[in-house]
Amino acid sequence: MFENLSERLSGVFDRLTKQGALSEDDVKTALREVRVALLEADVSLPVARDFVKAVQDKATGQAVTKSVTPGQQVVKIVHDELIAVLQGEGEPGALRIDNAPAPILMVGLQGGGKTTTTAKLAKRLKDRDNKKVLMASLDVNRPAAMEQLQILGTQIGVDTLPIVKGENPVQIAKRAKTQASLGGYDVYMLDTAGRLSIDEELMAQVEAVRDVANPRETLLVVDGLTGQDAVHTAENFDSRIGITGVVLTRMDGDGRGGAALSMRAVTGKPIKFVGLGEKLDALETFEPDRIAGRILG
């Protein structure tokens, strides 16, 4: 799992004499390699810098264990620290959906995978948690997106709110709430409109929907392959709307996962799920361990 970085680090440590404890210089040299590995995994520079500093403080003076090489030992410290940063509070993937009907607001940019993820999550809630779920599309400017959600709903056996022409997103959200209450739904999911980039109109619309729906969870869906852009998107949505968690999509791609670390470090919000493909069951609970392995390469 750690071959890449381990190899680099053993090269560094081969040149050093064996000592009883990791010296400050040993650690510094090793951490230069760690920083390169983080930057190559698309972790932002300030986050990589802070991270390396934290590891340096932890590693300096640690006794060298006999069973592993100093290089492996530094990798282990880095790995544990990555997990500490990536880990959110509570159960991974847990959602606050106890009081029925619980609203979940899905937000994000167009093309990030929001509609697909709404359906994936609805399917998961239905199949694994036995929840009765209603989905509603609020994307009034793109009738195709509304129809897409309906089609997905049929595929997974989850109800969608009937489409009524001429309504605005706030009206749809209110109708979803009423329908969810009357129909005895446990959860209703609001799939908000996406834009190609963040603009005032989009934010104002999502904000208005948030205010009427009072969501228990506001999940930002972002393309995990977009690296730093995903982090900027998260910062923007969090400061304006307030998100409770993140879903990183396209993690089946060959990205190195650095966005996950930057995302956690910058927004402080947990990554709850990862999308691992186009299929509707390709959604998994976020596992810090796996991402740490990917970042280390």
**Minimum CB separation from ligand GDP for residue 57, in Å?**
36
- Judged by CB, which is closer to ligand GDP: 114, or 131? 114
Q: Using CB under 6 A, which of 103, 275, 288, 297 touches ligand GDP?
A: 275
Task: List the strands of the sheet with 283-285, edge to edge.
Answer: 159-160, 133-137, 187-191, 102-107, 217-223, 245-249, 271-275, 283-285
What's the DSSP call for residue 21? B
Return the residues of window 184-243 that contact ligand GDP according to CB under 6 A: 194
Provide CB contacts within 8 A for 91, sequence distance 6+.
none
- Judged by CB, which is closer to ligand GDP: 116, or 218? 116
264, 271 in Cβ contact below 8 A?
yes
| 87 binds ligand GDP, rule: CB under 6 A | no
**Minimum CB separation from ligand GDP for residue 121, in Å?**
11
- Residue number of the CB closest to ligand GDP reads 275
Q: Where are the alpha helices (DSSP H) in 193-287?
A: 200-213, 228-240, 258-267
Determine the Cα–Cα distance for residues 259 and 59; give it in Å rounded to an integer.
24
The angle, 0 to 180 degrees and rounded to 10, between the axes of the packed helices 24-40 and 288-296 is 100
| Residue 111 marked ligand-binding | yes
Segment contacting ligand GDP by CB under 6 A, of 7-15, 79-87, 272-280, 286-294: 272-280
| Residue 267 marked ligand-binding | no
**Minimum CB separation from ligand GDP for residue 268, in Å?**
24
| Residue 194 marked ligand-binding | yes
| Residue 192 marked ligand-binding | yes
Residue 285 tokens read as 């609970």
Where along the sequence are the contacts to ligand GDP (CB under 6 A)? 108, 110-116, 194, 249-250, 252, 275-278, 282
